[in-house]
Amino acid sequence: MREVPLVELHRRYGGSLGEFGGWLTSFDFRDPVAEHLAVRKAVAFFDVSHMGRFVLRGGRVLDFLQRLFAKDLSKVGEGYMSGPVLLLNEDAGMIDDVMLYRVREDLWYAVVNAPRISRDFEWLSSWRGRLGFSDVEIEDVTGSTTLIAIQGPKALEVVEGLGVKEAGSLRILQFVENVEVLGGRATLVSRSGWTGEEVRSHGFEIWAPVELGWRIFEKLVELGVRPAGLIARDILRLEAGYLLSGVDFNESTNPIEARYWMAFDLDKQGYVGYEKLEARYREGVERVRVGLRFKKGVRVVPRHGDPIVVGGTEVGHVTSGTYSTYLERAIAMGYVSSRYAYIGGTVHVNCRGKLYEAKIVEPPFI
Amino acid sequence: MLVKTRVGEYLVREDLYYTDTDEWVRISGDEAVVGITDYAQKKLRYVVSIELSRPGREVRRGEVIATLESVKAIADVYSPLDGLLVEVNEFLTSSPDAINKDPYGAGWIARLRVTGTLPKLMSPEEYAEYIRKREGSG
């Protein structure tokens, strides 16, 4: 297991450490519910340095990425992030959803999910050889840099408080490079996050060398911004309806059944997995991902694997769920047989032997 | 008299007995009140719901008398002794996070009448040591 570079600060500020995706990082800083509410109502920050980061260089980088990623990346402007984009295997199974940053035509960054770092890196490297892109350089810089996400409606004033003058002018998914922060140089500052539509527009992420990341972490605490951990982050992303790689999808799930529309494009052709993906769309799928909204005030935590039931018949299962104190109800997502995927319909979820009523809804939940 | 002691961030009360499954027991005469320790609630984090046993039945030591569900995990609460389950804390059904806010008070879980012989329970000192051992090892 690797430790996130700022693990000492996690310890100092009360992080309860555990393993996620091969990294030792904080599940919470003593109060995940308050951390979650802080993001919804004010501001909190996450050290997400466990997320994988790759640098891709070379004159033909864009061509290379276009052959592997399921969206047309030529549409991503310089200084913008792509939003989540899928990396598919030849069978159209989802390897990972990746955030790509177009710094220049010949320089891109990628942020990938922690549990998938080596899989993604090996996949990209092997196709680099197979497709003859030996001039494209791929470097894994995870672990030698930090990534800090400042999220919530008050994020802008906090980031300005760190001295980032450009923060206010950034549009959603836009970033600036080589930014002065606390007298040091951050690799980039972006207007982005993973915590929800209404909050995302206010969120920022700072990618910085370890020494500067350390100072940013301490400064944020000094400014009274609460550090938050993975539990709060998971509740936030579920409320926002975002899928979690390895939990809500894996390589045996295809993007059609996951209805992960924002992360792939069937108009684009010629990328790995496209043929199978197109066939799946044409032939139809057996199951689809849906949101599940439980009744208000019913305190339960639906968990991965809980059966979804209609009239005594199991029609699917939950992939992730939580109890949101913000919404005062349990929410979940899962897969149901296509025949039962009625938006607005009522199902039951079997949580450890007890049936709970839930409505099939279209996420987001906030 | 000192009634509280701290092991790191965890509170151990000196007037209670403890189990190795992190319940506390307050014994007065033939009555025992049971809850989970500050250590246990801090490890579980925010408790979302609780399922309580129905009172009025005999329970054996080690039998599940309640199941807690937190944002982090599901945990059973075990009876620390043989006895009659006299009462459960119904207040927790609507406010399960009382266990987080006041584990040794409003967050009590069950009241039992002791029917068998009292088993060996941990003293506050032993329980404090038990926390230290687990914290130290990881």
In angstroms, rounded to a whole number, what is the distance separating the alpha carbons of residues A65 and A88? 12
Q: How close does chain A come to B60, measured CA to CA in Å?
A: 23
Query: 3-state class of A346 per DSSP?
Result: strand
Instruction: Say what the pLDDT of residue A195 is.
Output: 77
Report whether pLDDT(A200) > 90. Answer: no
Residue A176 lies in a domain: yes
Please provide the size of chain B in residues.
138
Domain end marker among A140, A171, A197: A140
Burial class (CB in 10 A: 0-12, 13-18, 19+), B66: buried
A&B contacts, CB < 8 Å: 37
Q: Which residues of B101-127 are buried (b: 16+ CB within 10 A; e: fewer)?
A: eebbeebbbbbbebeeebeebbebeeb
In angstroms, rounded to a whole number, what is the distance separating the alpha carbons of residues B71 and A36? 12
Q: Are residues A40 and A156 in the same domain?
A: yes
Q: Does B70 touch chain A (CB under 8 A)?
A: yes
Domain that holds residue A169: 2-51+143-239
Please provide the size of chain A in residues.
366
In angstroms, rounded to a whole number, what is the distance separating the alpha carbons of residues A30 and B52? 26
Q: Are residues A87 and A210 in the same domain?
A: no
Q: Does B39 touch chain A (CB under 8 A)?
A: no
Contact B48 A301 (CB under 8 A): yes
Instruction: Look up the ipTM and state it.
Output: 0.73
pLDDT tens digits along A229-282: 999 999 999 999 999 999 999 999 999 999 999 999 999 999 999 999 999 999
Domain end marker among A184, A211, A239: A239
Report whether pLDDT(A205) > 80. Answer: yes
Q: In this structure, what CATH number is given to the domain that contains residue B40?
A: 2.40.50.100
Q: In this structure, what CATH number is given to the domain that contains residue A223?
A: 3.30.1360.120
pLDDT tens digits along A155-193: 999 999 999 999 999 999 999 999 999 999 999 999 998
Q: Are residues A68 and A10 in the same domain?
A: no
Q: Does A3 touch chain B (CB under 8 A)?
A: no
Band of pLDDT at residue B2, cut at 50, 70 and 90: low
Q: Are residues A189 and A43 in the same domain?
A: yes
Q: Does B74 touch chain A (CB under 8 A)?
A: yes
Band of pLDDT at residue A201, cut at 50, 70 and 90: low
pTM for the whole structure? 0.89
Residue B138 lies in a domain: no
Q: Which chain A residues are Cβ-neighbours of B38 within 8 angstroms?
A: none
From A14, A323, A352, residue closest to B48, measured CB to CB? A323
Contact A300 B69 (CB under 8 A): yes
Q: Are residues A164 and A113 in the same domain?
A: no
pLDDT tens digits along A20-76: 999 999 999 988 999 999 999 999 999 999 999 999 999 999 999 999 999 999 999
Report whether pLDDT(B138) > 50. Answer: no
pLDDT tens digits along A312-329: 999 999 999 999 999 999
Instruction: Please give the residue of chain B at the shortest CA–CA distance from A329.
Output: B48
Query: 3-state class of A251 per DSSP?
Result: coil
In angstroms, rounded to a whole number, what is the distance separating the alpha carbons of residues A57 and A174? 20
Residue A293 lies in a domain: yes
Other C-beta atoms closer than 10 Å to the C-beta of A204 total 25
In angstroms, rounded to a whole number, what is the distance separating the alpha carbons of residues B33 and B28? 9
Report whether pLDDT(A194) > 90. Answer: no
pLDDT tens digits along A81-123: 999 999 999 999 999 999 999 999 999 999 999 999 999 999 9
A115-137: average pLDDT: 97
Q: How close does chain B come to A271, measured CA to CA in Å?
A: 39
Domain that holds residue B31: 4-133
Q: What percent of chain B has pLDDT over 70?
A: 96
Q: Which chain B residues are Cβ-neighbours of A294 within 8 angstroms?
A: none
Burial class (CB in 10 A: 0-12, 13-18, 19+), A31: buried
In angstroms, rounded to a whole number, what is the distance separating the alpha carbons of residues A82 and B33? 58
B16-41: average pLDDT: 97
Query: 3-state class of A351 per DSSP?
Result: strand
What are residue A208's phi and psi, to 5 degrees? -145, 155
Which of A33, A234, A322 best probes binding to B when mutated, by most B CB atoms within 10 angstroms?
A: A33
Q: Are residues A156 and A19 in the same domain?
A: yes
Q: Does A300 touch chain B (CB under 8 A)?
A: yes
Number of domains in chain B: 1
Q: How close does chain A come to B45, measured CA to CA in Å?
A: 7
Residue A271 lies in a domain: no
Which of B45, B51, B76, B94 best probes binding to A when mutated, by most A CB atoms within 10 angstroms?
A: B45
Domain end marker among A181, A216, A239: A239
Average pLDDT in chain A: 95
Q: Does A1 touch chain B (CB under 8 A)?
A: no
Number of domains in chain A: 3
